[in-house]
């Protein structure tokens, strides 16, 4: 078990570098955005980004999910290259058919979203970028399935550097604003595709697998509804703030979301790059359910460490990232959104049983209901509490989503999750965060010291409550000992 976990951690670190680099651009550029963009412009950027996410979900047909599920199926191992060829051809055809007509309605879309047609060019850029991203995502899935973690990370870093360089140039030197952000993104996507051309063609066999793609679509199409509903669950807060309040409120809220969402990027996304292939590879392996159980436990622990950090230091982080005081209200929603992401990660972990048993229709139905709940809560809370209301709606929806999915997943495929430990992780984090709020009226330096002490005290509390197993403690001590030896050796 620990050899498997060790392998997973190793690949997670490598994937983490890639995932971090690809997502880091949005975080690294926050000081630039908040300096050169107003809260209203930043809100506009956020609305365009979430619209692109929704469109990508529709255009992709969730082929990526089907491809992921079928690629290592023992009955189709000899058809891996033709399955990849079939998938990528289908994505190119669908994206072209759907997006080309939409381009002619760019002014109407701009008017619908922002009550002005001046963002029509931005809409066209967004559509083009979305088409490229759908194809890139399938290529990344293939790299991930083949466990080429280093290749994945190198490509991601190159893509980041290209996007980062052109974004800075377009905004600071040419004053292109939001348009420059998307132009830089498209350039980086084209560079990525050029760098992967050889890899893509070497993994293709020009044969269209009609029967297989039909089976994949039967599995993946129901997930489109789940994907859209899931995205709505994530982005409806910003859409409703946009229509019920203003793009300035969206901008402030989006900064808070961007900061808190780094928890999912750093912890969940990078680790799942390594874990996801193993989940399917180990379906029939002995002791697999303990592995699945530990995934949730370690995700809960890792994510809560970040949740606690971002919650404790939300004000300091926002003031560091944004010199413009109009953005500082984002610190109020970061703790709420961070805890909602914690429940979102638990929900994703609990889906293992439903994914293994291929019960995608249950996933689709539940996500649709939860997204409707989220929209209702936003409708009720935003007029009363504004951005805080939107964050609370997200937190409640995320908690309900985890509970419901956990129930259905366990009925489909029982996994002995360590729920007591998960609850311990959560309650300990909430308790320490509550203690930190008692220092709000203290001086800045004293307040930071208190928060730091509380943060460092977190693993000690878990240890006192017997969270760690003996074998885990021994492994941690051995790892720490090896680290000390390595440091001393370098000296």
CB 309 within 8 A of CB 455: yes
Structure confidence at residue 120 (pLDDT): 93
Helix, strand, or coil here: 386?
A: coil
- 375-383 LR contacts (CB < 8 Å, sep 24+): 375/232, 375/236, 375/240, 378/236, 378/237, 378/240, 379/240, 379/244, 382/240, 382/241, 382/244, 382/245, 383/244
Structure confidence at residue 47 (pLDDT): 94
Six token digits for residue 14:
């490598």
What phi and psi, each to the nearest 5 degrees, are found at residue 189? -65, -40
Cβ-based neighbour number of residue 423 at 10 Å: 11
Helix, strand, or coil here: 438?
A: coil
Say which DSSP state 245 is in.
S
Q: Is 350 exposed, middle or buried (0-12, 13-18, 19+ CB in 10 A)?
A: buried
The helix-helix angle for 210-244 and 360-385 (nearest 10°) equals: 10
Helix, strand, or coil here: 122?
A: helix
Structure confidence at residue 30 (pLDDT): 87
Six token digits for residue 323:
């010199």
Structure confidence at residue 271 (pLDDT): 73
Start-to-end C-alpha separation, the chain: 34
DSSP letters, 264-332, are IIIIIIHHHHHHHHHHHHTTTSTTHHHHHHHHHHHHHHHHHHHHHHHHHTHHHHHHHH--SGGGGGGGG
CA distances from 221 to 53, 62, 214, 226, 263 (A): 17, 6, 10, 9, 29
Q: In terms of Cα–Cα distance, which of 159, 174, 184 is closest to 36?
A: 174
Structure confidence at residue 61 (pLDDT): 78
Six token digits for residue 235:
């982005």
Q: What angle do CA 101, 56, 245 make, to 5 degrees?
A: 90
Cα 455 from Cα 305, distance rounded (Å): 8
Q: In terms of Cα–Cα distance, which of 253, 203, 233, 192 is closest to 45?
A: 253
CB 358 within 8 A of CB 70: no
Cα dihedral: 309, 311, 316, 319 (round 10): 130
Q: Which residue has the tokens 């992780």?
A: 425
Q: In terms of Cα–Cα distance, which of 453, 454, 459 is closest to 434?
A: 454
Exposure class string for 45-79: b at 16+ Cβ within 10 A, else e = bbbbbbbbbbbbbbbbbbbbbbbbbbbeeeeeeeb
Structure confidence at residue 3 (pLDDT): 53
Task: Spell out the residues 6+ positions from residue 301 whose beta carbon is closer than 8 angstroms to its own.
Answer: 425, 462, 467
Cα dihedral: 413, 419, 425, 426 (round 10): 90
What phi and psi, each to the nearest 5 degrees, are found at residue 105? -115, 25
Say which DSSP state 162 is in.
H
Cα 234 from Cα 257, distance rounded (Å): 10
Cα 217 from Cα 144, distance rounded (Å): 21
pLDDT per residue as tens, the chain (491 positions): 545 555 555 555 555 554 555 556 667 788 899 999 999 999 999 999 999 988 888 888 777 777 877 877 777 778 889 989 999 999 999 888 888 877 888 899 999 999 899 999 999 999 999 999 999 989 988 988 887 878 888 898 899 899 999 999 999 999 999 999 999 999 999 999 999 999 999 999 999 988 888 888 887 777 777 777 778 778 889 999 999 999 999 999 999 999 999 888 777 776 776 677 677 777 777 788 988 999 999 999 999 999 999 999 999 999 998 989 999 999 999 999 999 999 999 999 999 889 888 787 888 788 889 989 999 999 999 999 999 999 999 999 999 999 999 999 999 999 999 999 999 999 999 999 999 999 988 999 999 999 999 999 999 999 999 998 887 777 766 766 565 565 455 55
CB 415 within 8 A of CB 352: yes
């Amino acid at each position: 078990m620990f050899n498997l976990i060790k392998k997973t951690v190793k690949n997670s670190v490598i994937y983490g570098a890639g995932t971090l680099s690809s997502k880091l651009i949005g975080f690294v550029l926050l000081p630039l955005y908040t300096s050169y963009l107003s809260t209203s412009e930043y809100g506009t950027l956020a609305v365009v980004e979430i619209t692109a996410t929704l469109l990508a979900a529709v255009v992709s047909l969730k082929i990526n999910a089907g491809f992921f599920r079928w690629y290592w199926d023992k009955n189709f191992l000899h058809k891996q290259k033709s399955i990849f060829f079939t998938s990528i051809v289908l994505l190119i055809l669908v994206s072209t058919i759907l997006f080309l007509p939409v381009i002619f309605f760019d002014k109407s879309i701009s008017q619908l979203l922002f009550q002005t047609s001046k963002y029509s060019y931005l809409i066209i850029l967004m559509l083009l970028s979305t088409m490229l991203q759908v194809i890139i995502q399938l290529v990344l899935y293939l790299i991930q399935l083949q466990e080429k973690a280093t290749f994945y990370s190198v490509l991601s870093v190159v893509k980041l550097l290209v996007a980062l360089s052109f974004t800075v140039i377009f905004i600071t030197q040419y004053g292109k604003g939001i348009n420059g952000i998307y132009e830089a993104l498209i350039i980086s996507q084209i560079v990525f595709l050029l760098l992967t051309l050889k890899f893509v063609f070497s993994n293709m066999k020009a044969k269209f697998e009609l029967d297989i793609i039909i089976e994949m679509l039967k599995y993946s199409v129901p997930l489109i509804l789940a994907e859209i509903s899931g995205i709505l669950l994530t982005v409806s807060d910003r859409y409703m703030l946009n229509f019920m309040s203003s793009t300035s409120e969206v901008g402030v809220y989006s900064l808070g979301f961007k900061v808190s969402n780094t928890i999912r990027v750093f912890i969940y996304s990078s680790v799942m790059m390594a874990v996801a292939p193993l989940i399917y590879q180990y379906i029939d392996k002995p002791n697999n359910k303990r592995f699945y159980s530990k995934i949730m436990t370690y995700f809960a622990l890792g994510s809560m460490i970040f949740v606690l950090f971002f919650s404790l230091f939300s004000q300091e982080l926002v003031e560091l990232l944004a010199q413009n005081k109009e953005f500082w209200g984002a610190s109020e929603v970061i703790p709420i959104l961070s805890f909602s992401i914690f429940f979102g990660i638990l929900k994703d972990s609990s889906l293992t049983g439903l994914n293994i048993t291929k019960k995608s229709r249950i996933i689709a139905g539940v996500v649709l209901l939860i997204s409707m709940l989220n929209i209702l809560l936003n409708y009720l809370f935003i007029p009363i509490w504004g951005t805080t209301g939107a964050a609370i709606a997200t937190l409640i929806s995320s908690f309900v989503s985890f509970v419901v999915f956990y129930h259905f997943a366990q009925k489909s495929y029982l996994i002995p999750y360590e729920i007591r430990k998960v609850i311990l992780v959560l309650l300990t984090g909430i308790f320490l965060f509550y203690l930190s709020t008692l220092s709000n009226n203290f001086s800045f330096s004293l307040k930071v010291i208190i928060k730091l002490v509380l943060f460092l005290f977190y693993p000690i509390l878990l240890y006192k409550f017997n969270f760690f197993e003996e074998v885990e403690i021994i492994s941690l001590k051995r790892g720490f000992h090896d680290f000390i030896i390595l440091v001393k050796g370098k000296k």
